[in-house]
Structure 1
Amino acid sequence: MELKTPEDTRDLGRALAPLLRAGDLIVLVGPLGAGKTQLTQGIGAGLGVRGAVTSPTFVISRIHPGGRLPLVHADAYRLGDVAEVDDLDLDADVDAAVTVVEWGAGLVEQLTDAYLEIRLDRDDETEVRTATLVPHGGDWPERLLALN
């Protein structure tokens, strides 16, 4: 799907929020500037979490309480391997919250049996973003039908 503005990217996150359940893992894939944090901001707004959702690049993981479900927002960019992800203890929070991991491909999929991968890309000339939602297991394909 095409996301022409940063607000469109946040709107996608807000549209996803009602579909989310405790224990859901969302893995965000895309280059710098593709809108991973903006998408997570929309998810946080849709869940009604307290406080601003900002990039966790330097703190690696933030927990946003409140709302319908808490949001765990992690950034695996600086992590080198699965062992470092294990040190974050994300699996302790995954059952009770929605967990969104930026740069997590190849590192966090083992946290759950099913997850949603969202691939974001951005055209450098037009700054238009595209989002591709890729369900991996579980009932993600059925849930995503609600977005159409």
Structure 2
Amino acid sequence: MKQAAFLFVIVAAGVTGFIGMYQEWYIPSSKALLIITVMLGIVYMVAVLRRTGSKKRTSLLLLALSLFLVQTAGAWIYEIWTFETFFSAAGMMKISMILLGTGALVLNTIHFISRATHKKRNIQRTAKGEKNNSVRQLFKRKPAEKTVTVVLGESVHAKQSM
């Protein structure tokens, strides 16, 4: 339950921060966002390596991590943008957040779909029953199965008429 509450707070903070930055209500320092992103990255790596929690929770953690990564990039672009004649710093931040956010959303969707497909494949594989195609069983075949007879010019029908 603690993990679910933590994930809810982190995802809500990521969405709120993204909206707040896009609306220019509050643009935090890129260093602060980088620290939060690195901490979330470490938490994600620990969760994946230890395989704690469900796969849905690690996927939500990845979503939150990507949201904070987009915010970090947007804040960094806002701080370093100097070409005010072409685009303002806020305008360039919005453009970068839209492009990076769309890319992050697409990659997260691909990740979610691949997880679901992998789970479906595993369920189908266990439901079918595994074929015993081990190396040992390949060599345990009967000698009659190993021989192949090819007769050129003849046609053999599977029907037997008696």
| Fold shared per TM-score above 0.5 | no
TM-score (norm 2): 0.24
Higher helix residue share: 2
